[in-house]
Structure 1
Amino acid sequence: MKHRLILFFTLLTMCSPFVLSATASAAGSQTNDEQTGGIKIRAKARLPENQYNQEVTYFDLLVAPEDKQEVFIDITNITSEPVTIAASLNNAVTNNNGVIEYSPTSSQTNQSKGLKLTDFAQLSDTDFVIPGEESFELKVTLDMKNKKFDGIVLGGVYLRQTDDEKESQGNIKHVFNTELAISLRQNEMIVPEEISMGTIGVGLVNSRTFFKADFINKNALIVADAELKVKVYRRSGNELLFEKTIDKMKMAPSTQMTLLIPTEGQRLSAGDYVIKATMKTSNNTYEFSEDMTISQEEAKELNEGDVSIEEDNMLLYIVIGIAAAVVLIVIIIAVIVVKRKSRK
């Protein structure tokens, strides 16, 4: 394989329906690799007095503009062997599949349109070792810097087991991580929902051709349980060329996601296209339509770079067929001539 595939094995826990399943992670009672899928740690937030929602296991904090605060995460090694952890605090991103995540190396488009958790928070430690069956106290320091805001600022702590990273057959790299969300709010005001469609285009991703469409959650709220349908047409005509649907998608506050619409190994031709999208949320239905043009040069570059496109050997087959037919005719004529001569 030309490209490395990163597999993330994330231990998730229960969380509020208002925040996605990917925003919090914690522990079960399993204690070995086979039972936990490779996860060797349990992360538990010590919920402070200003916890807004007491029914969730991640930090959902009600803060004031002048607040300075320390909160703590207890990280327990649930195995008998030491485990090495790389910790980072990251802003929430919305990935290509409509899932919120906190990976520090996320390749997803994440153009934040608002405040970021990293503006107000920092970790006490970023690299540490936890002995077998012991715990480590990770401190998160918050300083709101007299900043006032409505809605939610969302991010999370990302814990990666660095000593377990190894490559297996096929250049697959196994990365074991645990995530725990941090949500900040200053009031109970519900900000209005507003979704827009951004840039559209086409390009190669991992040597395969995709149409691309950006969607922007413009305000500081989580968009949950949305349905997104995107379709690609020729501008002239109603023939559907490509489509992609995501059910139960989520969008982090004030962020942008890029949806990839696969071309499934089909060759692209130059010309005018239109991308139409419908997003249904619990509050609204949004309709979008944007035109685009693919040039001859761009189509040629995409088709040559797409490893999923099968080589078109039709012309070769036609040439071979004609040559075979000519040879056969020559042989038949030669046989007829020989037979006539033999009769004489």
Structure 2
Amino acid sequence: MKKLIALLLIIPLLASAFIFPVTTDASEMNFSVSANLPENQMDKTKTYFDLKMSPGMEQTITVTMTNQTDDEITVLASVNTAVTNDNGIIDYSQTDPKLDKTLIHPISNLTDSASEVVLAPNSSKEYPITIKMPNETFDDTILGGIHFQEKTEKTNTDDAKTIQIENKYAYIIGLMLRQNDTGVKADLQLNDITPTQINYRNVVTANLQNTEATILKDLEVDAKVFKKDGTSVLHENFEDNLRMAPNSNFNFPVSWNNQAFKAGTYRMEMVARSGEQVWRWTEYFTISGKDADSFNDKAVEIEKDYTWLYILLGSLLALLILLFVFLLGRKSKKDEE
């Protein structure tokens, strides 16, 4: 199942399964970045920002950017709100993600910084980011990442004057904001269950939502699909080592195993675990005939259902047998006469 989802979601950069590494292929980079940790850094052994700030506090932090080449380069920079992608990974790479309705303070709204930085050959420059903490108090975490990519020009072969942005590798430095040491307990909710497709293959997705301002770690999810009142498992998926950003959601997939959707009502039984916390749900969902036909028409490598053909052939065989018996009976009757 992981391979199926990865086919759709492969992009040049995904944040690592660890919370805050600097993510990159360093051999492909023309520049480097380093966080300058301030005095209010909560854990000075970390290489990312983990800042304790009071309500309403304003602070400017810096990242040292170094051009390691003999050419001038331009770096695209942004402070991105952490979300959870559909691989169940915390993602810091999206500049304009769809945010969860429970997220009150996206980190991108609390910061101000330049979107482009020009670095002279073999030089270093400080990149400042101004942070304005919300005035109201809150517990636990506001989470994001400072995202750096080199800006490159790619000439379109159809139009030499067309300039396109091509970004292949990036650095991400984590940015975590807290007002105190008080944590909150995670609360996971199951929202809509929806028939859809991933990479042109039929799946049903269950939207899982972390409604609290805390990172949900080491999450295991086990989902099984039955007919409405059935006892046999039709489809299932188990994933572990998932992580969710604070106040975020993602779509957990259950593959239909290259089978056609059939209209009807189904039951999903799901169990999720993180540490000592366990959530259990039993939810019903419906696949309409219209949706089934639409997705089946677009699905690839789908296993065809030949039940109707078997019924037709069986019916024809039965008719032939009856006809044979009838004709044989008439012949026997004539012979007797």
TM-score range, shorter chain: 0.7 to 0.9
Cα 1:311–1:135 shift into 2, 3 Å: farther
2:127 aligns to what? 138
67 and 5 in structure 1: CA distance in 2 versus 1, 3 angstrom threshold = closer
Q: Please give the TM-score of this superposition, normalised by the length of structure 1.
A: 0.77
Structure 2: distance between partners of 1:273 and 1:165: 49
CA contact (8 A) 1:102 1:158 kept: yes
Which residue does 1:253 correspond to in 2?
Answer: 246
**Within 5 A, what are the aligned runs for 1:59-74?**
59-74=49-64
**Are the equivalent residues in 1 in contact too, given 2:15–2:90 (CA < 8 A)?**
no
SS in 2 for 1:301: helix
Q: Does residue 12 of structure 2 align to residue 8 of structure 1?
A: yes
Aligned to 2:260: 267
In structure 2, C-alpha distance between the alignment counterparts of 1:81 and 1:300, rounded to whole Å: 56
Q: Aligned equivalents of 2:97 and 2:238: distance in 1?
A: 21
Partner of 1:23: 20
Alpha-carbon distance, 1:43 to partner: 1.8
1:212 to 2:205 alignment: yes
Q: Which residue of 1 aligns with 2:85?
A: 95
Q: Aligned in 2, Cα 1:134/1:116: closer, same or farther, shift over 3 Å? A: same
TM-score (norm 2): 0.78
Q: Work out the CA distance in 1 between the residues paired with 2:272 and 2:154.
A: 38
Distance 1:126 1:157, change over 3 A: same
1:193-218 deviation line (CA, Å, top 9, x unaligned):
21111111111234322211111111
* Higher mean C-alpha displacement, 67-76 vs 108-117: 108-117
Gaps of 5+ in 1: 13-19, 28-34, 168-172, 320-344
Deviation at 1:261, TM superposition (A): 2.0
Q: 2:117 maps to what in 1?
A: 128
RMSD of aligned Cα (Å): 3.1
Q: Is the 8 A contact 1:156 1:181 kept in 2?
A: yes
Q: CA deviation at 1:109?
A: 7.1
- Segments of 5+ residues of structure 2 without an aligned counterpart are 1-6, 157-165, 313-337
Instruction: Give the aligned residue type for 2:18.
Output: S
- Supply the distance in 1 between the matched residues of 2:276 and 2:104 (Cα, whole angstroms): 21
Partner of 1:193: 186
Is residue 287 of structure 2 the alignment partner of residue 298 of structure 1?
A: no
Aligned to 1:55: 45
Note the C-alpha offset of 1:183.
0.5
Corresponding residue for residue 333 of structure 2? none
Counterpart of 2:147 in structure 1 is: 158
Conservation of the 8 A alpha-carbon contact between 1:94 and 1:108:
no
Contact 2:152 2:167 in 1 (8 A): no
Tell me, in whole angstroms, the C-alpha distance in 2 between the residues paired with 1:98 and 1:166: 36
Identity of aligned residues (%): 28
- Number of residue pairs the alignment of both structures matches: 298
Separation of aligned partners in 2, 1:177 and 1:166: 21
Per-residue deviation, 1:174: 6.5
Task: Compute the displacement of 1:142 (Å).
Answer: 0.9
Deviation at 1:158, TM superposition (A): 1.3
Structure-2 separation of matches of 1:9 and 1:37: 15
Change (3 A) 1:244 1:278: same
Partners of 1:56 and 1:237 in 2: CA distance: 51
